[in-house]
Structure 1
Amino acid sequence: MNPVTVIRGTGPIILGQPHSGTHVPDDIFARLNDLGQQLRDTDWHVPRLYDGLLANVTIVRANFSRYVIDANRDPSGTSLYPGQNTTELVPTSTFDNELIWHTNPTEADIAHRLESYHRAYHAALEAEIARVKADHGLAVLYDCHSIRSRIPHLFDNQLPDLNIGNNGGQTCAPAITSAVTAACAQSPTYSHVVNGRFKGGWTTRHYGRPEDGVHAIQMELAQRCYLASEAPPFAYDASRANTLRQLLGTILTAVEDTVKSSLMTEI
């Protein structure tokens, strides 16, 4: 299986989808324990959730599971959230701090996965950012994520529905963040926060360079908003999802309108 899927559009927005993949090569899958083989920390059904919401959008999607290697972690292994619980470049445990391997991956395993998966994903993403920027003079990377609503090992209490991250305002123009938050604020259904527990992962922080015309923003969704249950088999709830999809479509359209409007002069 190709580790990355790229769907090219002609617009200025790129949807990054680094954690929705479930492919695990057979030799790696055999080394996962029963819990690890459930792949429970996947960003379940994110491609379906965003499908068709915005015309001419580009999509860069990792097809491999984050348990193979996490495409949204610093390849050096440096923690995104020093002093807080998180998972590694190649996770050794679930978000609940439960072990997932019979035998942990070796340094050689990690080096191989960096080359074959992590770098493949980011090479594709870098190429699309360069192409879109060449076409439009800028590119907007909207990084699509989801996570279970309650994970005591990672955060207290229940996560807000929509978690917007721009690393403290560093990764995109204020007008883009304002467009996203304004769309969220208009919803009577969903709660939202900016730079709460999730401030943007390595992808957002690495590529977000507004001064160079590359803007990045992360959206972390609480899975209760569109799943039937946040437990296996993590089934998609079409009724819940359709309500959320309406808002996500509004958000993406607001970002596109901002980029195309007179606010461009401020960006």
Structure 2
Amino acid sequence: MAVQNLMTFKAGSTPILLNVPHAGTLLHPEVERRLRPAALELKDTDWHMDKLALPCAELGVGVMAAQYSRYVVDLNRSADDAPLYSGPTTGLISQIDFDGQPLYLEGQEPDGQETKARIQSYWAPYHQALKAEILRIRAQFGTCILLDLHSIRSEVPRLFDGVLPDLNLGTNSGASTAARFEACAERSLGSGQYSFVKNGRFKGGYITRHYGQPDQNIHALQLEIAQSTYMIEHAPWDLVPPKAEMLGAAIKNLVTALLDEVNTTRG
């Protein structure tokens, strides 16, 4: 089954691709009718990340963003749903939210057949498109930098203790990117404007770990952003314009720094 409106995509003219896999809010009607009322708030969405990423297209970077909710399928998990972290988490087609609460009405959880169908209809074509664009960029420029953008509520006790730092850079402990790009991102993000940590609770999900292959000139970095930096962290999940503008500028500064670094390396 081909799914319409699976993603938005704006091609770039530089070696950088921004990917936003969790900002989508679309639900297939068959999924929507089976979710609990609380789940329909979609509180685990990376709210507005696609909007914050899009202005970076002005710098010539590509921007890809999923349109369907992570409650349909989580694009940042492997197709075999192998665990990424040793602590509590959620799955490829999760039946619980970040707080551990059930997503589905009792008896309405997806079975194995539905799981396979969702992988084929949503997960596989998205990753095919993502991989194709990464390879196209590398073929054109000799290298590709994938920046995977995420956000999360600043306090989720089931997932992490206390309050999450504002900006959380993940490079799979340095394995997903060359050291020069990791250092470049660290300088940009750790300038003092926001609290910052590298390879803390969020080291990078499946996308960062799978596609980041520095020895093949594909470099992947994940940026997990605390939602308190740009929005109200409860329904209706509204942006706070002054905060959002400041964060948008920080994301643009990061992209600019990475562009400068890759151009210096290529030069």
* Fold shared, TM-score > 0.5 on shorter chain: yes
Amino acid across the alignment from 2:53 = Y
Deviation string 1:53-100 (CA, Å, 9 cap, x unpaired) is 352111121111000000000110110013x00001111111011111
1:114 and 2:111 are equivalent in the alignment: no
5 Å matches for 1:69-218?
69-82=73-86, 84-102=87-105, 103-187=108-192, 189-218=193-222
**Shift of the alpha carbon at 1:51?**
2.2
- Cα distance in 2 for partners of 1:62, 1:52 equals 17
- Cα distance in 2 for partners of 1:37, 1:231 equals 13
Partner of 1:225: 229
1:246 and 2:249 are equivalent in the alignment: yes
- Cα distance in 1 for partners of 2:16, 2:93 equals 29
**Shift of the alpha carbon at 1:264?**
4.3
- Cα distance in 2 for partners of 1:186, 1:167 equals 22
Pick from 11, 35, 38: which aligns with 2:14? 11
TM-score by length of 1: 0.95
Amino acid across the alignment from 2:144 = A
Amino acid across the alignment from 2:43 = R
- Cα distance in 1 for partners of 2:190, 2:27 equals 38
- Cα distance in 1 for partners of 2:146, 2:54 equals 16
- Cα distance in 1 for partners of 2:78, 2:103 equals 21
- Cα distance in 1 for partners of 2:118, 2:250 equals 36
- Match of 2:151, SS state, is strand
- Match of 1:19, SS state, is coil
Identity across the alignment (%): 38
Query: What's the RMSD between the two structures over aligned residues?
Result: 1.1
**Contact 2:229/2:244 (8 A) holds in 1:** yes
- Cα distance in 2 for partners of 1:35, 1:112 equals 25
Gaps of at least 5 residues in structure 1 are none
Partner of 1:57: 61
- Cα distance in 2 for partners of 1:124, 1:191 equals 34
- Cα distance in 2 for partners of 1:264, 1:191 equals 31
- After TM superposition, the structure 1 stretch with the greater mean CA deviation from structure 2, 91-100 or 215-224, is 91-100
- Match of 2:9, SS state, is strand
Amino acid across the alignment from 2:235 = P
**Shift of the alpha carbon at 1:185?**
2.1
**Shift of the alpha carbon at 1:174?**
0.6
**Contact 1:69/1:90 (8 A) holds in 2:** yes
Runs of 4+ in 1 over 3 A off after TM superposition: none
- Match of 1:109, SS state, is helix
Amino acid across the alignment from 1:180 = A
**Shift of the alpha carbon at 1:238?**
1.1
- Cα distance in 1 for partners of 2:38, 2:54 equals 29
- Cα distance in 1 for partners of 2:29, 2:225 equals 30
**Shift of the alpha carbon at 1:244?**
1.1
Amino acid across the alignment from 1:34 = P
- Match of 2:219, SS state, is strand
- Match of 1:140, SS state, is strand
Partner of 2:33: 30
